[in-house]
Amino acid sequence: MAKNTKFIFVTGGVTSSLGKGILAASLAKLIQARGYSVTIQKLDPYLNVDPGTLNPYEHGECFVTDDGAETDLDLGHYERFLNVPTSQANNVTTGRIYQSVINKERKGDYLGKTVQIIPHITDEIKRCIMLLGKQGKYDVVVTEIGGVVGDIESLPFIEAVRQLKWELGADALCIHLTLVPYLAAAGEIKTKPTQHSVKKLLEIGVQPDILVLRTEHDLNASIRAKVALFCNVGKDAVFESPDLPSIYEVPLSFLKQGLDQVAMTKLGLPIDHEPDLAAWNDKLNRLYNLSNVVKIAVVGKYVELPDAYKSIHEALNHAGMVNNVKLDIEWVHSEKINDQNVAELLGEKKAILVAPGFGHRGIDGKIIATRFARENNIPFFGICLGMQCAVIEFARNVLGIADANSSEFEPTANPVIDIMEQQKSITNMGHTMRLGAYPCHILDKDSNAFRAYGEEMIQERHRHRYEFNNNYLADMEAKGMIAVGKNPDSDLVEIVEIKNHKWFVGVQFHPEYKSRFEKPHPLFVAFIKAAIS
Ligand code: GLN
């Protein structure tokens, strides 16, 4: 345990999408592998209080934590890398900061004072950063500042970093990630954008301690020395972040360059032993030596945007790795599926996953895909809305209830999926769903779920308003769709299975949020196992 909590700030320059989240997660992983407890926090400069109300096209997947926070997808990377859960405190937006300052103002906490960005907003940002340090659980808190230096929106966050660096002295460190482009016409690597980006940081008063240069070409020592010279950092504190075949190799690339050692030395964290990355290396070896290719389909309506299903994608790849197969995942747009083309679109797939989602768009295609999987004995995994589609499909085509539907989509006399009782009076959209971890009791030991988990009581994370309508349960079970898992307190159906099928599992929760690189999720592993058996 370190004497004081150390704070590492990760800022980004030149452009977005350079991989600040992966840099933060990789460095945190290395420090964790050297025996320290580490957590990572994301500060998002947008005005939404949380990303829960954002369309996935805007910001990719919404990641949900055990304590029910709807957060940025980078928190998924943090959990997958560190194998420790995050919480609401790990994701703070401008909206949340302002909301809390304005609430305090209304309460009279600042009575008599003019409330201003500096110091009130910056104080609140600093409080949110220090909060994780104060929990006494972490030696190191890595804080990733969303956006790019120079954005109007990120200014208060960078200002808070400036103040904290001043207040914390040697216990704080700033790592700036920038882009070093290669100009093919000139045949040259260009450092000027990085120099400008560091100048932008300096304008606000933040001198980065370490620079990480994102590059598509190898950087030689003289380029790094040039950047060091122009940006007032030591030559040994300039690192490169090249393109790699897997994000899970990024920590190893930084380890080889000594990024963790330089950061830890600057923070005064003793380096007592080599990092323990045995499990990590083992997984990476497997990942790079997969034998057969297996074709599977994911049916969803946001398939144009890979980030919309980030955690599902990662969880599937983790499961492929465990089963020693490389997955060839086709992302099938649910709006394009109809009765005529379903066999052509899905016929060759060894397994079909129907993805979560909201709203009526694309539902028909999801239901057709589900029927196709059920009738053709193709392993099927329905997640949240995917499970609800399986219930609707079964009610319509096996129980013969033609108008069976979810009350989310249209009023129906047969709402086999219905709004939860507690949700009926809620009118606000933000943070009002059934969110976060709930227990689930696996009632049937002869189920795919029990065989996968190997235990009766599990905990999984939720994010939905609608649920299986228990009025239809007896009829469904009589025809073969069994509720094998239920919430022990509320009796809500959490897992359904069809018995005389190779592998047909629908879950009301989101198992994808809990799959980690070193600990792939058992249901995903079982799903892929069924695909190859
Ligand atoms: N729209 C459905 C509900 O709210 C499913 C949500 C989801 O798939 N996350 O219940």
pLDDT tens for 469-487 read 999 999 999 999 999 999 9
Residue-level pLDDT at 419: 87
In this prediction, residue 432 carries a pLDDT of 79
Q: Whose CA is nearest to atom 6 of ligand 1?
A: 464
Low pLDDT (below 50) residues in the chain? none
Q: What's 412-451 look like in SS3?
A: CCCEEEEECHHHCCCCCCCCCCEEEEEEEEECCCCCHHHH
Question: Which protein residue has the closest C-alpha to ligand 1 atom 1?
Answer: 358
How high is the pLDDT of residue 428?
Answer: 74
Q: Can you give the pLDDT at residue 27?
A: 98
Which residues' Cβ are closer than 6 Å to ligand 1? 356-358, 384-385, 408, 463-466
pLDDT value at position 242?
92
Q: What is the pLDDT of residue 2?
A: 56
pLDDT value for 169: 95
Q: Which residues contact 413 (CB under 8 A, 6 or more apart)?
A: 403
Q: What tens digit of pLDDT does each residue of 59-117 get?
A: 889 999 999 999 999 999 999 999 999 999 999 999 999 999 999 999 999 988 999 99
Q: What per-residue confidence (pLDDT) applies to 448?
A: 97
Please choose from 406, 464, 508, 510 the residue to mutate so as to test ligand 1's pocket, defined by most ligand atoms within 8 A of CB. Answer: 464
What pLDDT sits at residue 1? Answer: 56
Which residues is 10 bridged to in the sheet?
144, 175
Sign of CA dihedral 476, 478, 484, 490: positive
pLDDT of 421 = 75
Ligand 1 centre distance from Cα of residue 419 (Å): 10
Whole-number Å distance, alpha carbon 522 to ligand 1 midpoint, is 22
The whole-number pLDDT of residue 420 equals 77
Residues tagged active-site:
384, 510, 512
Q: Distance from the CA of 307 to the center of ligand 1, in angstroms?
A: 18
How many angstroms is it from 466 CA to the middle of ligand 1?
Answer: 6
In the chain, the amino acid numbered 523 is L
Distances (CA, A) of 323 to 290, 330, 512, 522: 9, 19, 17, 11
Predicted local confidence at residue 274, as pLDDT: 92
The CA distance from 35 to 221, in Å, is 31
